[in-house]
Amino acid sequence: MSEIVPPEVRPKPAVPAKPSHVAPPSSVPFVPSPQGTGGEGQGSGRGSALFGYIGIDTIIEQMRKKTMKTGFDFNIMVVGQSGLGKSTLVNTLFKSQVSRRSTSWSRDEKIPKTVEIKSVSHVIEEGGVKMKLTVIDTPGFGDQINNENCWEPISKYINEQYEKFLKEEVNIARKKRIPDTRVHCCLYFISPTGHSLRQLDIEFMKHLSRVVNIIPVIAKSDTLTLDEKTEFKQKVRKELEACGIECYPQKEFDEDMEDKSDNDKIREAMPFAVVGSDKEYQANAKRILGRKTPWGVVEVENPNHCEFSLLRDFMIRSHLQDLKEVTHNIHYETYRAKRLNDNGGLHPISSSGQDTQESNL
Amino acid sequence: MKEPNLEGYVGFANLPNQVYRKSVKRGFEFTLMVVGESGLGKSTLINSLFLTDLYSKDYPGPSQRIKKTVQVEQSKVLIKEGGVQLTLTIVDTPGFGDAVDNSNCWQPVINYIDSKFEDFLNAESRVNRRQMPDNRVHCCLYFIAPSGHGLKPLDIEFMKRLHDKVNVIPLIAKADTLTPEECQLFKKQIMKEIQEHKIKIYEFPDTEDDEDSKLIRKIKEKMPLAVVGSNVVIEVNGRKVRGRQYPWGVAEVENGEHCDFTVLRNMLIRTHMQDLKDVTNNVHYENYRSKKLAAVTCNGIDTTKNKGQLTKSPLAQMEEERREHVMKMKKMETEMEQVFEMKVKEKKQKLKDSEAELERRHEQMKKNLEAQYKELEEKRRQFQEEKANWEAQQRILEQQKLDASKTMEKNKKKGKIF
């Protein structure tokens, strides 16, 4: 088997651009543009002095308009034992009924005997931006008595999506916009035992952290008191480190100091302890999402109660695009290189496995 | 039976007091087993139930245990309250349900329970039965993870295999995860599944007392009990309560509206402890015993190792026993006959031998006698001979004498002349 060396991180393609959440740079002091955004996109350091306003930075606006027109895809997979609140969390994240359970919900659905892969797609719109969200659910994971290799169907599915994309890419007459069904993000739900990771968790993450972006979350974290929470998180982090499991955001893909510091902060807070709810309650004269118990209301969006808002901001508001990029540039490329390298093992593509266009007969 | 009226105070109403005093002196034993996946709060619940730290803070938690196989560990503790001693044994099952492949993780548990039954059976059959400690498992608390959906396949398998060996009481662990509505739905779902799979959990006995039966009905509606455990004391509105402190409130352990912990404690310790022991003794132990003894008499070998279910009805079992008994009898008969024959042969042989011996001796004696006879004859002959000789000699002598006298006469006649 040939050595698989993940290719160098290619420079980011011009489309799509990084969301502009960076602080205005101070490296170019005399650009008399209305605001200092986008200065980074053209390369840091002293550029040549500009004597007037050219308007290069409007490329951001143009990109934005384009993206709004085309919309984009996002595929999220949720993995965990049944009853950990996966569907509820996804509903809460996207503030709508997008999970599998909402479309065909029945409480006494029997636990399937093998792991199944079920995906549900919705198009949601916000501020003129359309997103085709696909939620891939894995009922039956970890529920059997014998859970050997229950990650295999999942691994197979992920690779199948890569394969589909590869086939489309390798066509002579390529589609203008290849439908992207690759899994961009996998939320792995950890059961809140308060002690440590289960054997099954470690096995799954070991097998899949190199193939897809895994974000571990602690499910139903309203079981844990604050002390128990911090202790548990520390233990989980230590165990993941000890087993060599790299979750998203991976340390090796940090590009510069800013990225690193941002991501470090996030890594310190991971795994996020979340609570999901799609019911609203009245509290402090506001209607908030929460869970009502006889001893109080657990507010989902209150950072003192749980880290749901952190997760949402991280996943959607700051790193959504990054998730897609890492999937495309790193995981997909790894798969592609592997596929094209060992042609003999898997189904070969119609002709020689070089980087040439082939006809799809 | 006649029920005569007593005309005065006899005093046997004091009998319960005597029993009470004796039992208090003897002390009580109770064995409780807790089964469930790691992290469901079993140790915390035990500590809360008995208000002691049976599992101290430095008891190695599941993260430090090697989760290779399911272990069965027991810890004994002696607690006293109001002069009553209780030897409490807690049996823990670390590693249950934690591996990736959990097939047969119930086997060590079943083996443990059976071994305790066997110990008791042997102790009962001994000659000296004075010290008979009762180490049988009286109650098994099974912890169900609060998924909110239903029972997992592992739960169902375990309870199916253990419901006729021990009193199984299912509990919903970490119940502060569930809102009251979710809890209700979950309980209903669990009870439905338990009935579907025909699992026999511990049933509270019906009493004739009206008040008690109302209480029992209330408890039955709440099954399975949703519990929360904690030994941390927190102050709420000026009261000190045991509970768990969250940013949004305090979940009180002993508050009936928050969880069913008090129901469990009352049921387990205050009202039904003796009943649990009785059911263990009368039902589960008897089942084990009859299975084991039937196996031994049937085959002469201990077949209790392979635990098949008793698939024959009692009548068929009796019929078979009878047939076997008859066969055994026949066998014994033939055996005895054989033995008899053998003995007869032996005896005959012996007799023959002794007869031969006698014959021989007879012969010998005869010979001896003949020899003696011959000797005697010989002697007699000799004697006769001698006698004849002697007589002859005597005669000769006489003759000589006569002759001599005759000659003398002659001589006298003649001679008188001289």
Q: How many CB atoms lie within 10 A of CB A108?
A: 11
CA distance B228 to chain A (A): 10
Question: Is the CB of A295 inside 8 Å of chain B's CB atoms?
Answer: yes
- State how far residue A140 is from chain B, nearest Cα, in angstroms: 10
Name residues whose C-beta falls within 8 Å of residue B183's C-beta, 6 or more positions apart in sequence.
B172, B175, B226
Measured between beta carbons, which residues in chain A are less than 8 angstroms from residue B59?
none
State which residues of chain B have pLDDT below 50.
57-58, 301-309
Q: Which of residues 202-241 of A touch B (CB under 8 A)?
A: 203, 220, 222-223, 225-226, 235
What is the per-residue pLDDT for B43? 84
CATH class of domain segment(s) B15-295:
alpha beta
What confidence score (pLDDT) does residue B298 get?
Answer: 66
Best of B40, B156, B179, B190 to mutate (most A CBs within 10 Å, chain A): B179
For residues A215 and A315, give the distance between their C-alpha atoms in angstroms, rounded to a whole number.
Answer: 9
Contacts of A199 in chain B (CB under 8 A): 67, 98-100
Cα(A304)–Cα(B248) distance, integer angstroms: 9
Give the distance from residue A78's alpha carbon to the nearest chain B alpha carbon, in angstroms. 16
pLDDT, position A1: 39
Alpha-carbon distance B383 to B378, whole Å?
8
pLDDT on residue B207: 65
Cβ-based contacts of B185 with chain A (< 8 Å):
107
Q: Is B245 helix (H, G, I), strand (E, B) or coil?
A: strand
DSSP B248: T
Cβ within 8 Å, pair B248-A299: yes
Using CB atoms, which residue from A83, A145, A192 is nearest to B153?
A: A145
Task: Please state, as a whole number, how many other Cβ atoms lie within 10 Å of the Cβ of residue A284.
Answer: 7
The shortest C-alpha distance from B219 to chain A (Å) reads 20
B249: which chain A residues are within 8 Å (Cβ-Cβ)? 293, 295-296
DSSP state of B175: G
Give the integer Cα–Cα distance in Å for B230 and B242. 6
Cβ within 8 Å of residue B45, ≥6 positions away: B34, B141, B171, B173, B227, B229
Q: Among A145, A148, A235, whose Cβ lies nearest the Cβ of B63? A: A235
Answer whether A200 touches B (CB < 8 Å): yes
Question: B179 to chain A: which residues are within 8 Å by CB?
Answer: 291-293
Residues of B within 8 A of A307 (CB-CB) are none
Instruction: Please report the pLDDT score of residue A111 as a whole number.
Output: 64
Q: Give the nearest partner residue to B249 out of A192, A226, A296, using CB atoms.
A: A296
- Phi and psi at residue A330, in whole multiples of 5°? -110, -60
The distance of A338 to chain B (nearest Cα, Å) reads 29
Contact predicate A189/A86, CB 8 Å = yes
Read off the tokens for B256: 């009936």
Query: What pLDDT is attached to residue A41?
Result: 40
Residue A175's pLDDT band, with cuts at 50, 70 and 90, is: confident
pLDDT reading at A43 higher than 60? no
Q: Cβ–Cβ of A295/B252 closer than 8 Å?
A: yes
What is the per-residue pLDDT across A61-102, written as a single tens digit (0 to 9) for each?
888 888 788 888 889 999 988 888 888 888 888 777 666 555
A287 against B328, higher pLDDT: B328
Domains defined along chain A, listed by start: 61-276+306-341 (3.40.50.300)
pLDDT digits (tens, 9 = 90+) for A95-148: 776 665 555 444 445 666 667 888 888 888 888 888 888 888 888 888 888 888
Position A241 pLDDT exceeds 50: yes
Helix/strand/coil for B313: coil
Which residues of chain B are within 8 Å of residue A243 when distances are taken between CB atoms? none
A45 or B180: which leads in pLDDT: B180
Contacts of A192 in chain B (CB under 8 A): 39, 177
pTM, 2 dp: 0.70
ipTM for the predicted complex: 0.71
- Residues of A with Cβ-Cβ distance to B98 under 8 angstroms: 198-199
Q: Nearest residue of A to residue B183 by CA position? A: A293
Using an 8 Å CB-CB cutoff, list chain A residues near B251. Answer: 293, 295
Q: Are A79 and A215 in contact (CB under 8 A)?
A: no
Please tell me which of the candidates B61, B157, B244 has its beta carbon nearest to residue A145.
B157
CA torsion sign, B108 to B114 to B119 to B120? Answer: positive
Residues from chain A contacting residue B152 (CB–CB below 8 Å): 82, 111, 143
Cα gap B94→B72, rounded to integer Å: 7
CB contact under 8 A, B101 and A148: yes
What is residue B122's three-state secondary structure?
A: helix
Within its chain, how far is the Cα of B284 from the centroid?
Answer: 14
**Distance separating alpha carbons of residues A99 and A57, to the nearest angstrom:** 39
Task: Answer whether the bond into residue A24 is a cis peptide, omega within 30°.
Answer: no
Higher pLDDT, B369 or A50: B369
Nearest in space to A212 (alpha carbons), one of A304, A327, A85: A327
Work out the burial of residue A84: count CB atoms within 10 Å of its CB; fewer than 13 is exposed, 13-18 middle, 19 or more buried: buried
Whole-angstrom Cα distance, residue B204 to residue B221?
11
Cα distance between residue A336 and residue A331, in whole Å? 9
Q: Is the minimum CB–CB distance between A195 and chain B shorter than 8 Å?
A: yes
3-state DSSP assignment of residue B377: helix
Q: What is the mean pLDDT of chain A?
A: 76
Q: Mind telling me how many Å the CA of B8 is from chain A's nearest CA?
A: 58
Within the 148-167 window of chain A, which residues sit less than 8 Å (CB to CB) from chain B? Answer: 148
- Pairs across A and B, CB distance < 8 A: 113
- What the block records as the tokens of B254 is 């002993």
Token output for B138: 């009286």
CB contact under 8 A, A148 and B39: no
Which value, to the nearest 10 degrees, does the dihedral of the CA atoms of residues A255, A260, A264, A265 take? Answer: -120
Provide residues of B within 8 Å CB-CB of chain A. 37-40, 61-63, 67, 98-103, 145-150, 152-154, 157, 174, 176-177, 179-180, 185, 189, 192, 244-252, 255, 257-258
- Burial (0-12, 13-18, 19+ Cβ within 10 Å), A15: exposed
B73-81 vs B84-92, strand pairing mode: antiparallel
Nearest Cα to A230, choosing from B235, A238, A201? A238
- pLDDT of the residue at A40: 40
Provide, as residue numbers in chain B, all residues whose Cβ is less than 8 Å from the Cβ of A190.
none
Cross-chain residue pair A194–B39, CB shorter than 8 Å: yes
